[in-house]
A and B are shown apart, each in its own frame.
Chain A
Amino acid sequence: KAGVTQTPRYLIKTRGQQVTLSCSPISGHRSVSWYQQTPGQGLQFLFEYFSETQRNKGNFPGRFSGRQFSNSRSEMNVSTLELGDSALYLCASSLAGQGAGTGELFFGEGSRLTVL
């Protein structure tokens, strides 16, 4: 079974631009969560989508948004990029959502965003 796939793996943007990251979950998984990973802050929760609905949201500004499609694939978008948005963005899928069962997450390898 294929794992969680994130694209692109690496990207470089300049301040003020916007970026869209994509995540394809494990087949059959309906929940997709997004995390921002930085050396100083560890993993910070962005949001979780389940069956095309946002179920949970972290404490990030409105520049960070996401969506989920009917095939469970998810995208996250960051508008008006700032230098501090440079990070590894991790996507994780689970069978029935963070609130179900044991909540184990299956992670992708991440998208490394650099903002210049």
Chain B
Amino acid sequence: AQTVTQSQPEMSVQEAETVTLSCTYDTSESDYYLFWYKQPPSRQMILVIRQEAYKQQNATENRFSVNFQKAAKSFSLKISDSQLGDAAMYFCAYKGRDDKIIFGKGTRLHILP
């Protein structure tokens, strides 16, 4: 079965600085999707960024980018120019052939003013 591991339960970063959240996953499949979701304190989860495994180019959405290392099964999220509104729980997620979306346990990100 596929698993998603986020090894950093909590992280802090100074406002305007850059932070990287780590995620590793375990799978025997070659085609899959990876996601980062953000859950602000109001609790409604939203999609931050998506990566298709067959694409070698790392996905980017404004200040958010990923470092996708397929061989290492690593999928980290980099947030540049951190803002107070980035404070949230961040979940890494995997979607494989069985169509279930599996989430990691999350990383709580604090932004220090």
In the complex, the answer to whether A109 meets B99 with C-beta atoms within 8 Å is: no
In contact, A103 and B33 (Cβ under 8 angstroms): yes
Q: How many A-B residue pairs have CB under 8 A?
A: 59
Q: Which residue of A lies closest to B6 (CB)?
A: A42
Provide the bound-state CA to CA distance between A91 and B104, in Å: 17
Residues of chain A within 8 A of B99, CB atoms compared:
48, 55-56, 97-99, 103
Contact B103 A43 (CB under 8 A): yes
Interface size class of A (residues with CB under 8 A): 20 to 34
Q: Nearest Cβ distance between residue A67 and chain B, in whole angstroms?
A: 19
Check A43–B91 contact: CB distance below 8 A.
yes
A43: B residues at CB distance < 8 A: 91, 103, 106
Task: Specify the chain A residue showing the minimal Cβ separation from B50.
Answer: A102
Residues of chain B within 8 A of A107, CB atoms compared: 37, 44-46
Residue positions of A touching B, CB distance < 8 A: 3, 33, 35, 40-45, 48, 55-56, 58, 88, 90, 92, 97-99, 102-105, 107-110
B interface with A by C-beta (< 8 Å): 6, 33, 35, 37, 42-47, 50, 52, 91, 95, 98-106
Task: Give 27 pairs: A residue, B residue, CB < 8 Å, sorted on A.
Answer: A3-B44, A42-B6, A42-B91, A42-B103, A42-B104, A42-B105, A43-B91, A43-B106, A45-B102, A45-B103, A48-B99, A48-B100, A99-B99, A102-B50, A103-B33, A103-B99, A103-B101, A104-B35, A104-B47, A105-B37, A105-B47, A105-B101, A107-B37, A108-B44, A109-B43, A109-B44, A110-B43
